[in-house]
Amino acid sequence: MNKNPEFKFLYIFSSQDLVLAEIKRTDQPEGMPLSSIYKWLVIQNNKVTKFTFKSMDKKEKEFREFEEGKLEFDNVSALLSFNGSQYRLNKETLVTQDILKAIQSFES
């Protein structure tokens, strides 16, 4: 029986169209690449996509650049540019079982 991956949510944002989450894998051995520990995932139409991190910056807001798009966020909301569209997202504090299961399945 496969053990579920262990992780915690660092950020989670959502809209009607998608959920964006940054997770930190807590079950990875020391010395693993940061890309194996910290992951930005988009859940859309029951499909999970991992973003490929490129860079980050922090001014008045946080910025992340990925190969797949760009993200600007603060403690309340986020703006994600992805797949030729812009998504306005709200910061979430609760994770639904569907999102948790989708990420567990993707990370297994």
Q: What is the pLDDT along the chain (108 residues), one digit of tens a residue?
A: 457 899 999 999 999 999 999 999 999 999 999 999 999 999 998 899 999 999 999 999 999 999 999 999 999 999 999 989 999 999 999 999 999 999 999 998
Domain membership of residue 86 as a residue range = 7-107
* Rounded Cα–Cα distance for residues 58 and 44 (Å): 27
Which one-letter amino acid corresponds to residue 37? I
User: Does some domain include residue 53?
Assistant: yes
- The 10s digit of each residue's pLDDT in 8-28 is 999 999 999 999 999 999 999
Cβ(56)–Cβ(63) under 8 Å?
Answer: yes
User: Does some domain include residue 1?
Assistant: no
Number of domains into which the chain is organized: 1
